[in-house]
């Protein structure tokens, strides 16, 4: 179902998503009316319920060709047209007689060699640039002003390098050493959140509210976030997938503070054990929610950073992502590692090298 390096590539490139199937444009085509007032539910809360998508071709970090957050509409249209052309190229069928060693060295979107397992038919990252208040955005990150992630601490750089190394000696020890996405525990990247960021596909969320809780069903790997309103935080010793999320209403904005994530979870090297994410969801139009988040992790980044994403209304329902069904890749990865070890060879993350008799998995 998934190969080892493909999973890493999905996690590493999901935030620079390109190509796919059109999504609902919604309110991103024009500025939200300053007088817009979100509808209320039965408890008098701003109503965020519905099915939403954050799919976009706007990357997390600002590309070098842009100096500002807001870009001219003509440039945004050019990006969307280039994406459509790349999408059309990616839709071309793969030669069924091709061997692993025939795969292209670089097939785009961050995939190389044996990671070239998806053509555009299977992906849905979005086709449009983020537009908020009618302004096209060059990056999800809005602070720092340069649209880049802050510098990482030396310890975090070392941790991240080991995690993605092809020669990580622990990478094939057992299922616990594999990624959360491969194990069908959480989404690739941080689609489940927090923060909830777009991926290569499955960028849909369903929000359901009651008086005391808000549930967010995440399409990718069928995650469900539970946000407890005006509740007491759990003890710091209680670590949870997606953390302990406590919400409150500030006017029309839902403010969610999340801590106590498990250390295996984080954003681009962030450690869930020291991570705090503050999210703000404001319904700014009938068919758009402005999603703003701030990430603080002093053990990983030298400063906090903030981003904004448009969540646009889309048609439901969300279909089940049956991750475990047919997931033969995880069993195959570990079985292949044991076979190599019996031959006295060291498993790596390079299948082509393995086929050439140089070791690898």
Does 337 fall in a domain?
Answer: no
Q: Summarize the confidence of residues 82-109 as an average pLDDT.
A: 75
Q: For residue 185, give the DSSP letter.
A: S
pLDDT of residue 27: 46
Could you tell me the residue range of the domain that residue 199 belongs to?
Answer: 4-329
Residue 203 lies in a domain: yes
How many domains are there within the chain?
1
The answer to whether position 344 is within a domain reads: no
**What is the per-residue pLDDT for 21?**
32
| Maximum Cα–Cα distance across the chain | 70
Question: pLDDT confidence of 86, banded at 50, 70, 90?
Answer: confident
Report the share of the chain in percent with pLDDT over 70.
Answer: 79
Q: Is residue 349 part of a domain?
A: no
pTM, two decimals, is 0.83
Low-confidence winner among 27-31, 97-101, 308-312 (lowest mean pLDDT) = 27-31
Tens digits of residue pLDDT in 202-252? 999 999 999 999 999 999 988 899 999 999 999 999 999 999 999 999 999
Say if CB 4 and CB 361 are below 8 A apart.
yes
Residues 6+ apart with CB under 8 A from 75: 66, 136
In angstroms, rounded to a whole number, what is the distance separating the alpha carbons of residues 243 and 137? 29
- C-alpha Rg value of the chain to the nearest Å: 21
Question: What is the arithmetic mean of pLDDT over 124-150?
Answer: 95
The answer to whether 12 and 299 are in contact (CB under 8 A) is no
The per-residue pLDDT for 4 is: 36
User: Strand runs (DSSP E) across the chain, as ranges?
Assistant: 50-53, 70-71, 106-108, 111-112, 131-132, 135-137, 141-143, 204-209, 213-218, 224-229, 244-250, 253-259, 276-285, 288-296, 305-313
Is 351 part of any domain? Answer: no
In whole angstroms, how far apart are CA 223 and each of 276, 291, 301? 20, 19, 27
Average pLDDT over every residue of 326-341:
87
pLDDT of residue 240: 92
Residue 170 within a domain: yes
Residue 346 within a domain: no
The whole-number pLDDT of residue 26 equals 44
């Amino acid at each position: 179902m998934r190969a080892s390096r493909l999973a890493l590539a999905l996690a590493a490139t999901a935030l620079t998503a390109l190509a796919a199937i059109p999504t609902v444009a919604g309110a991103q085509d024009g500025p939200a009316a300053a007088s817009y007032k979100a509808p209320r539910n039965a408890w008098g809360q701003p109503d965020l319920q519905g099915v939403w998508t954050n799919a976009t071709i706007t990357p997390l970090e600002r590309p070098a060709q842009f100096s500002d957050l807001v870009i001219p509409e003509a440039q945004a249209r050019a990006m969307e047209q280039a994406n459509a052309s790349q999408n059309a190229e990616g839709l071309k069928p793969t030669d069924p007689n091709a061997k692993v060693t025939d795969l292209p060295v670089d097939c785009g979107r961050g995939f190389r060699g044996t990671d070239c397992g998806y053509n555009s038919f299977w992906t849905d990252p979005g086709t449009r640039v983020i537009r908020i208040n009618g302004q096209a955005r060059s990056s999800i990150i809005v602070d720092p002003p340069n649209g880049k992630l802050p510098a990482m601490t030396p310890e975090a750089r070392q941790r991240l390098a080991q995690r993605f190394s092809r020669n990580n000696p622990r990478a094939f020890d057992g299922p616990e050493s594999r990624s959360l996405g491969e194990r069908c525990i959480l989404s690739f990247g941080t689609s489940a959140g927090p923060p909830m960021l777009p991926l290569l596909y499955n960028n849909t969320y369903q929000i359901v509210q009651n008086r005391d809780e808000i549930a967010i069903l995440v399409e990718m790997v069928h995650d469900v976030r539970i946000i407890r309103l005006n509740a007491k935080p759990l003890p710091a010793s209680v670590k949870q997938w997606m953390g302990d999320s406590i919400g409150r209403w500030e006017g029309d904005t839902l403010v969610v503070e999340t801590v106590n994530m498990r250390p295996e979870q984080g954003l681009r090297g962030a450690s869930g054990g020291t991570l705090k994410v503050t999210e703000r969801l404001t319904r700014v139009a009938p068919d758009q929610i402005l999603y703003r988040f701030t990430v603080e992790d002093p053990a990983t980044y030298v400063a906090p950073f903030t981003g904004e994403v448009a969540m646009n209304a889309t048609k439901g329902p969300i279909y089940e992502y049956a991750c475990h069904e047919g997931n033969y890749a995880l069993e195959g990865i570990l079985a292949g590692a044991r076979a190599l070890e019996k031959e006295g060879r060291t498993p790596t993350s390079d299948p082509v090298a393995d086929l050439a008799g140089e070791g690898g998995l």
